[in-house]
């Protein structure tokens, strides 16, 4: 049902579902409780939302701190994004490192992001719609991030469109992580 591929970050997976194209269009199953459980993945999700971004927009690097930290699934239903996760879990073999992947509506792939990772992306198509499925309810007091350009990431754009909030995050080097690995 799904091809689950490891990334450079333990517990973070690229998932390629079966994509069915026919004369009517396309059908893609993103979530199946039993298949996720068989792979040891989270099956209890609390919220789902989406963002629409123009080309050159960077959103990130976002996460929620405990006790409302969450597992996140992200997928692109229109366009394409350069997706990024950064491991913030103390004791992780990939602490402070980033993994990048192209997510696109054409490929139908998505990313499974465990607790303790920052997430962001850059819209690389004219417009991109990214869907997020998260395991906890949004909590403004626990919602934060790290500065997008304070991590060793080869972003596909030099002068991005950023929110004031995203420009104001602290760099990774100043971040005191509340997350632990394992």
Catalytic residues: 62, 132
Separation of alpha carbons 100 and 19, rounded Å: 22
Cβ-contact 68, 139 below 8 angstroms: yes
Token output for 106: 């054409």
């Amino acid at each position: 049902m799904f091809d689950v591929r490891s990334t450079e970050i333990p517990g973070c997976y690229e998932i390629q579902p079966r994509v069915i194209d026919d004369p009517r269009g396309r059908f893609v199953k993103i979530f199946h409780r039993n298949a996720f459980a068989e792979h040891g993945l989270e099956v209890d999700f609390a919220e789902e939302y989406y963002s629409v971004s123009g080309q050159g927009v960077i959103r990130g690097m976002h996460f929620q701190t405990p006790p409302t930290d969450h597992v996140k699934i992200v997928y692109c239903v229109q366009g394409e994004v350069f997706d990024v996760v950064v491991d913030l879990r103390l004791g992780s073999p990939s602490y402070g490192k980033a993994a990048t992947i192209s997510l696109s509506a054409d490929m139908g792939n998505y990313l499974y992001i465990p607790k303790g990772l920052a997430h962001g992306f850059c819209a690389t198509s004219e417009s991109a719609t990214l869907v997020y499925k998260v395991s906890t309810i949004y909590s403004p007091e626990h919602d934060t991030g790290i500065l997008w350009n304070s991590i060793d990431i080869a972003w596909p754009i030099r002068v991005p469109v950023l929110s004031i909030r995203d420009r104001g995050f602290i760099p990774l080097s100043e971040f005191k992580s509340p997350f632990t690995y394992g």
